[in-house]
């Protein structure tokens, strides 16, 4: 995650990357640890944060996102947290806004100081449901399946089931997103998750009983995402190759008997993680959403 984030920030036209904090690697060149950045930066890891003239800090490690560390952050410095620390914490208790621009863009544009980024699974599933929840149309139990890339198994055709508890936090995220848009939502969400042999990407399918006309659903989605820069409705099932290395989410809508089926595809490392963090930064500082993310 850190290497991907650094790559985006190093090539962002409005970012001056001042330091990268790591007590265990202090003094070591960043490119020595993250060799994909060789030739792109001569920065070395810092042992202590240097807050002077800093505008924003990204947090990638839950250990660095604890309350004691955050107390060190000057009040004028914005915090973008990519760890799971505050995803399920109420904003009034933590001060963190949930960083899904598709529902909280206006809030992030206006005086928001701390943002917690969504998980990749919650991002893919939520984007496939938000326009329906906004129109109070999610009224039965949801069945979801996600297939996530496994960088450690890039050959062969093995598919591994993921333990039910691994993504329980992501399901809670989705439930909170839907309830924030449709207060009446109280249906169960059933998730099956698998890791496959491709290196990166996330394909999510969610289906539920619904009598809504598919053409009406497509129209709702197109209207909702019309002024969002990275989410698009397409006329065929998305392939991971269509989103690899980008900050896009592609969504396909279909019907199977009594069930409405929604399929979304994202790059789990970009739209599912660091691309969202850079997108959040653009919003916080009044930049165009696509700056640094035309990948």
For the chain, the domains span: 2-118+271-284, 120-269
Per-residue confidence (pLDDT) for residue 19, from 0 to 100: 95
Per-residue confidence (pLDDT) for residue 152, from 0 to 100: 61
Query: pLDDT 10s digit of each residue in the chain, 295 long?
Result: 899 999 999 999 999 999 999 988 999 999 999 999 999 999 999 999 999 989 999 999 887 778 888 999 999 999 999 999 999 999 988 999 999 999 999 999 998 999 999 999 999 999 999 999 999 999 999 999 999 987 665 455 566 778 767 899 999 999 999 999 999 999 999 999 998 878 889 999 999 999 999 999 999 999 999 999 999 999 999 999 999 999 999 999 999 999 999 999 999 999 999 999 999 999 999 999 999 999 8
CATH number of 120-269: 3.30.360.10
Beta-strand ranges (E) seen in 127-220 are: 142-149, 160-161, 189-196, 202-209
Is there a common fold for 2-118+271-284 and 120-269? no
Q: What contacts 76, CB < 8 A, 6 or more positions away? A: none
- Fold for 2-118+271-284, please state it: Rossmann fold (3.40.50)
Per-residue confidence (pLDDT) for residue 153, from 0 to 100: 53
Per-residue confidence (pLDDT) for residue 23, from 0 to 100: 84
Per-residue confidence (pLDDT) for residue 149, from 0 to 100: 83
Angle formed at CA 121 by CA 178 and CA 220, multiple of 5 degrees: 45
Q: How far is it, in rounded angstroms, from Cα 94 to Cα 86?
A: 7
- Phi, psi for 56 (deg, rounded to 5): -150, 145
């Amino acid at each position: 995650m850190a290497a991907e984030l650094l790559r985006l920030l190093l090539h962002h036209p409005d970012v001056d990357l001042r330091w990268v904090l790591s007590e265990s690697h202090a003094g070591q060149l960043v490119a020595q640890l993250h060799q994909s950045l060789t030739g792109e930066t001569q920065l070395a890891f810092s042992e202590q944060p240097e807050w002077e003239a800093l505008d924003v800090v990204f947090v990638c490690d839950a250990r660095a996102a604890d309350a004691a560390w955050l107390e060190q952050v000057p009040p004028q410095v914005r915090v973008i947290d990519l760890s799971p620390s505050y995803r399920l914490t109420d904003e009034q208790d933590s001060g963190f806004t949930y960083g899904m621009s598709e529902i909280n863009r206006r809030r992030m544009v206006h005086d928001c100081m701390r943002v917690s980024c969504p998980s990749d699974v919650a991002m893919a599933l939520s984007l496939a449901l938000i326009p329906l929840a906004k129109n109070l149309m999610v009224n039965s139990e949801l069945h979801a399946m996600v297939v996530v890339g496994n960088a450690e198994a890039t050959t062969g055709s093995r598919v591994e089931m993921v333990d039910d508890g691994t993504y329980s936090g992501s399901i809670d995220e989705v439930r909170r997103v839907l309830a924030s848009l449709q207060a009446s939502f109280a249906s169960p969400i059933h998730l099956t998750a698998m890791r496959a042999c491709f290196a990166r990407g996330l394909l999510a399918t969610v289906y539920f009983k619904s009598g809504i006309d598919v053409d009406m659903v497509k129209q709702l989605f197109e209207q909702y995402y019309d002024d969002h820069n990275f989410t698009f409705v397409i006329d065929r099932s998305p392939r991971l190759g269509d989103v690899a290395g980008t900050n896009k989410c592609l969504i396909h809508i279909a019907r199977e008997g009594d069930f409405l089926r929604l399929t979304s595809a994202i790059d789990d490392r970009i739209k599912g993680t660091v691309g969202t963090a850079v997108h959040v930064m653009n919003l916080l500082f009044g930049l165009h959403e696509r700056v640094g993310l035309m990948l």
